[in-house]
Amino acid sequence: MPTRPLTHPDLLPASHLLAAAFHADPMFGAFVHPHRDAHPQDVHLYWLRFLREALYTPNEHLVVTYLEPCQSDPEQREETVTGLAHWIRNTSAPPQPSWASRAALFAVQKYNAAEEYFYPNRALCPQNDALISQGVPFFAHHWSGSRADSWHLSLLGVDPPYGKRGFGRELVSWGMERARGEGVSCSVISVRGQEGFYGKCGFDCVLGGTGDEGGEANVWRAAGLESMPVMVKDWGEVVGVKKYGEE
């Protein structure tokens, strides 16, 4: 099944796809959007703004699967986006973005801020959303040493009507093959219950969980979020990876 980079016309349908895909997710559903049942029409705004920024952020890649138009099927006259993956190419020495790239991202961020003012996401809990990034330092050590150069699957969503048809596996393969070709690690933070899927996709090592370190100082644990397994496939030699708290 075909994959391609996300384009600007895909932003709106992809945002609705992610809103549906993550409705029952313990983090992006219940935790980040506790009012989603009262304001279901607002949830896609979170993803729309996320996708806009990712589209203009260097080293971030948005990839979609899709169904091609079928003129013999009245319900499939146009191309349909069926799944989306957000891949990040981590590097130990990130290149400096160009002036044009910085200007484009700045403009998108300002546009998102203005849109948020006029069209707020009433399903969102901003405080819970902010906690997500605050929890990263408690498991960021996994991407040290040789794993600082890696492909990381930050997000994977398939539109529920198209689930279990191979779209998710194809989106995982997109980044896995690039990691294999470059001889670097490939990683993902799995939702509990999906370890088997990611294992079949090639992630053959569980490094630990997002809530394993830091005790109650770990904001994810303090907020009651379930620890999620960090999974990896190493295509090259693994050296210099630090333990939590190691300088």
The first and second tokens of residue 73, run together, are 């099927």
The token pair at 138 is 């408690």
Answer whether 0.85 is exceeded by the pTM: yes
Confidence (pLDDT) at 69: 76
User: In this structure, is residue 120 part of a structural domain?
Assistant: yes
User: Is 79 inside any structural domain?
Assistant: yes
The structural domain count of the chain equals 1
User: Looking up tokens 């930050």, which residue turns up?
Assistant: 154
Domain that holds residue 176: 3-233
Task: Classify residue 246: in a domain, yes or no.
Answer: no
In a domain, 134, yes or no: yes
* Tens digits of residue pLDDT in 192-245: 889 999 999 999 999 999 999 999 899 988 888 989 999 999 999 999 999 999
Beta carbons of 61 and 89 less than 8 angstroms apart = yes
CATH number, residue 50: 3.40.630.30
In a domain, 208, yes or no: yes
Range of weakest confidence among 36-40, 41-45, 191-195: 191-195
Structure tokens at 178: 């690039």
Q: Is residue 245 a part of any domain in this protein?
A: no
Q: Please indicate, yes or no, if residue 30 is contained in any of the structural domains.
A: yes
Following DSSP, what letter does each residue of 143-182 receive, concatenated?
G-GGGGSEEEEEEEEE-GGGTTSSHHHHHHHHHHHHHHHH
Task: Using DSSP, state whether 160 is helix, strand or coil.
Answer: helix
Q: What is the pLDDT of residue 76?
A: 64
Judge contact between 207 and 190, C-beta under 8 A.
no
- Residues ≥6 apart with Cβ < 8 Å to 185: 146, 147, 149, 150, 151, 179, 232, 233, 234, 235, 236, 238
Distance, in Å, from the CA atom of 92 to the CA atom of 144, rounded to the nearest integer, reads 8
